[in-house]
Amino acid sequence: MANIFESALQQAKAGHLHKAWNILVLNTASLDSRELHLMLDIALLSKQKSWQEESLQLLIDKQPLNYQWTNQLALLYFQAQQFTLAVGVIKSYLGKAPKNASAWFNLAYMSKFTGDHNASIKAYEKALMLNIEGPEEVHCNIGNIYSQELLDAEKAKYHYTKALELNTSYVQAKFNLAGLLEREGKLAEAGEAFVACAAYHDYKLKGLTRALELIEKDQGKRQIAKELECFLSVQSSADISIDTVDALFSLGRFYESAGLYNDSWSCYEKANKLDAEWRTSASVKESLDQCELIKDSFDFSAEVPSNDTELVFICGLFRSGSTLLESMLATHPNLISGGEIDVFRKQLLADSNTFSAPLLLKNKLALDTITKYLTRISEQTNSAVDNSKLRILDKQPENFLLLGYIKKLFPKAKFVWTCREKTNSVFSIYTQHFGLYQPYSCNLSDICTFYQQHLDLLAFWQQFYADDIKVVKYEDLVSHPSDVMSEIQQFLGVSADSNFDKFYKSKQLVSTASMAQVRKPLHKNAINRVQPYLKWMNL
């Protein structure tokens, strides 16, 4: 055995990792712990996932109660977005060592990414029962699930408060509690809570950024803006982060509201320039090619399992009025908001982390997707899916990309597609911070291209499902709400209801960039918001 170890080590030191690996892998049945550790070191140096997977599994087989190897393999799967495999590895370990609180914590964390939020909560609760170190973090994580995924404000508030009872200086819980207040529509209270968070150095930038959006008194807003400007002026290049981008967008909106359009445009440009550094040119191109990939992949004649649940999807480009429309529709006694449910992208795209084409919709994939979606909306609405008096509103804007596939799975689904005048739509996207799934959002020309592609995709889906797609123009919605809402209610086959104008009084949690706007009565202020900026846009 010493010869095997020395031979493999010598090859590894010489940089011949494949030769070193082969020496060990040919003798796996007889390797001891030292050889297995060397095998893992070689796998890590090689950066080959399959080698790491094999060596870690051998170490787990050799030392099944050593959680280090289980955790490392679970992290390997997790980083590769193979969440189900990651969860399975930890579950297997817990079958042998059920009193490992850290393992329950990691199981909880990774289960959330599989979409099984109830399982995640149960695993966190198990970690608490085992007296895990840092229970305030566990309560905060449970609160996040109730707040962001299950839309249960009371339970979220309970866990954030519990975290603060355990550790009064646990600022993350204070920040999340402030965010919950904002999503509940308690804007002034949320603003003050964010100001309090800004007193802590690590939360100063984030706290001031959120407070600037929410504090309404002019003097208070000006003071917060000055503090934010001062903070950014002394920030070193090494400290620039996504939070910096958020702060610049927030300052841009503050200057815009004050009529200082030069300063506002400068902030928007700086924010997008910084944000673009986190995105690759390849991802931008892929995002702009995806609509064509989807059209080329769709097979209208394909027959797959389906479900008769009557769902309502509100979709369209971001910043096109979808949150406003959802809030207005959710006032109807027979409609209930389900929020933005991100199931179809994760299930149906070949790689949910890139801008790939959809998978071939075979029977198993179809059934799995239907089951996961129905489970998700049942969790998120806290209501029975088969309740005939309620229809679920799903406001995931980019469901428009997969509209035809969703219709295959749910033939009775209806789609309300929100649109907005091009220049205002492009500008509104440019002045908002979006995630990595919208890499086109940092460049005006790219946004224009995607805008046109989304219209082309609309026309494509209308070839097959025109009767189930209702296009709603934002400008019409805010200018003639009674007429537009009456048309939508008829399209959905629900009774006439005029309470939609009370939408801003709703206690429903809102999680989008428009969460503050939908807490105000209907107005037309944003119809031609772009006008002062046209001289800089060159569209």
User: Given this model, what pLDDT does residue 502 score?
Assistant: 83
CA dist., res. 161 & res. 535, Å (int): 49
3-state secondary structure 512-539: CCCCCHHHCCCCCCCCCCCHHHHHHHCC
Residue 519 pLDDT greater than 80, yes or no = no
> Confidence band (pLDDT; 50, 70, 90) for 270?
very high
Token couple for 462: 């209308």
User: Given this model, what pLDDT does residue 526 score?
Assistant: 79
- Convert the pLDDT of each residue in 388-430 to its tens digit: 557 889 999 999 999 999 999 999 999 999 999 999 999 999 9
User: Given this model, what pLDDT does residue 507 score?
Assistant: 66
* Average of per-residue pLDDT across 177-185: 91
- Convert the pLDDT of each residue in 25-63 to its tens digit: 888 888 888 989 988 999 999 999 999 999 999 999 999
Residue 504 pLDDT greater than 80, yes or no = no
Token couple for 29: 């049945």
Which sign does the torsion angle of CA 437, 442, 443, 448 carry?
positive
Q: Which CATH number fits domain 292-537: 3.40.50.300, 3.20.20.10, 3.40.50.970, 3.40.47.10?
A: 3.40.50.300
CA dist., res. 277 & res. 270, Å (int): 11
Element (H, E) at 306: none
- Convert the pLDDT of each residue in 310-360 to its tens digit: 999 999 999 999 989 998 998 899 998 888 888 998 888 866 667 778 888
> Confidence band (pLDDT; 50, 70, 90) for 515?
low
Higher per-residue confidence, 491 vs 513: 491
Residue 382 pLDDT greater than 80, yes or no = no
Residue 298 pLDDT greater than 90, yes or no = yes
Residues 6+ apart with CB under 8 A from 507: 153, 184, 185
Q: Tokens 């006694």 — which residue?
A: 333
CA dist., res. 429 & res. 424, Å (int): 9
CA dist., res. 165 & res. 333, Å (int): 38
User: Given this model, what pLDDT does residue 135 score?
Assistant: 98
What is the pairing mode between strands 469-473 and 311-316?
unpaired
Does residue 110 sit in helix, strand or coil?
helix
- Convert the pLDDT of each residue in 195-242 to its tens digit: 999 999 999 999 999 999 999 888 889 999 999 999 999 998 888 999
Question: 103 with 70: CB under 8 angstroms?
Answer: yes
Domain boundaries of the chain, sorted by first residue: 292-537
User: Given this model, what pLDDT does residue 28 score?
Assistant: 84
For 378-392, b/e burial (b = at least 16 CB within 10 A) is ebbbeeebeeeebbb
Strand order in the sheet with 414-419: 335-337, 391-394, 311-316, 414-419, 469-473
